[in-house]
Structure 1
Amino acid sequence: MSMNTLKDVYIDQLQDIYSANTQAAKMTGELADAAKDDRLRDLLQKGVAGIRDGMEKVADLIKAHDADPDGEHCKGMEGLVNEARAHALEEEFGDDDARDAMIITQYQRLAHYAIAGYGCVAAFAGRLDLGGDKDTLQACLDACYSGDRQMTELATSDINEAAV
């Protein structure tokens, strides 16, 4: 696909987010399985559900613009997933709390990538006068921020202290 207009960039980036979410949902599930803290596991499982909800919404937007949700592979998220696997799942830890702290770190890197993506496409939708798309994408962005804040709260109130 040739990138000639902001609409072309918009569709491309929606497809990229869909791919990123596909990869992030799988990795977040793996992080949840490895988490020892019950609250962390619960937040991660809620994260998987939130990511999947966002995927459905993004897929619907892409299809509404006569494009294929699977039209792009997000190499950025692929790298982040590889990093999360290496640092949180394959690394040896002598302490479960330290692993949980690393799991939060890696999850938040995935989430921050999603925040950047959703912020960009929401801005594009606004510029393209796609009000319904913008509202949907803003809701996805708000959900990402909420999950990130909840994870920060858990890390700073309990997990990091336990990992000391």
Structure 2
Amino acid sequence: MTTLKNLQDLYVEQLKDLYSAETQLLQALPQMAAAASNPELKAGFLKHAEQTQQQIKRLDTVFADLGEQPGGHTCKAMQGLIAEGNEMIETEAAPAVKDAGLIACAQRVEHYEISGYGTVARYAQVLGKRQHLETLRVTENEEKQTDSILNTLADTINEEAMRA
């Protein structure tokens, strides 16, 4: 069990949670792309995998600045979200219906990440870690942009799924 003595300890613990979440997601995104039938959705998952690699590198710089190692923690929430994504991948469904389901799973992931990055950014601000704050806000904004892209794709794909 982890002992958290102060906000700095909580900050590091939450960063480790995000690092675990991102590394798990990086493995899952190619599988989601392979399961998607809509070319834009497929490309979006692959693009987000590339973006996730950059987000992990940003977290690496934050950990290096803190003199901490990113490992040693498993994000159980992301494990669950990925398990739901895997269930959708394995579900038999019309292509547009499966794509709509994949978007639902992806948006749950994005909302989890938006929440996580927003939280650690606020901790960084309170702790006076201005460079971390800027770095974390970049990633938070990327996650919000990804969610927006998924919303746009859902508009079209949900219509197709309705006609399936």
The bucket for the TM-score relative to the shorter chain is: over 0.9
Q: Percent sequence identity over matched residues?
A: 31
Is residue 118 of structure 2 the alignment partner of residue 119 of structure 1? yes
Q: 1:101, 1:160 within 8 Å by CA — same for their partners in 2?
A: yes
Equivalence for 1:92? 92
Structure 1 Cα separation of the partners of residues 26 and 157 of structure 2: 22
Equivalence for 1:150? 149
Is residue 48 of structure 2 the alignment partner of residue 47 of structure 1? yes
Structure 1 Cα separation of the partners of residues 21 and 57 of structure 2: 13
Alignment gaps of 5+ in structure 1: none
Equivalence for 1:37? 38
Alignment gaps of 5+ in structure 2: none
Structure 1 Cα separation of the partners of residues 129 and 157 of structure 2: 41
Q: 1:62, 1:68 within 8 Å by CA — same for their partners in 2?
A: yes
Equivalence for 1:70? 71
Question: Cα distance, 1:2 vs. partner?
Answer: 2.2
Question: Cα distance, 1:57 vs. partner?
Answer: 0.4
Matches within 5 A, 1:7-46: 7-46=8-47
Structure 2 Cα separation of the partners of residues 140 and 71 of structure 1: 22
Question: Cα distance, 1:63 vs. partner?
Answer: 2.1
> Runs of 4+ in structure 1 displaced over 4 angstroms?
none
TM-score normalised by L of structure 1:
0.95
| Cα RMSD (Å) | 0.9
CA offset digits 1:8-52 (Å, max 9, x no partner): 000111011000001112112210111111111111111111111
TM-score normalised by L of structure 2:
0.95
Q: 1:101, 1:159 within 8 Å by CA — same for their partners in 2?
A: yes
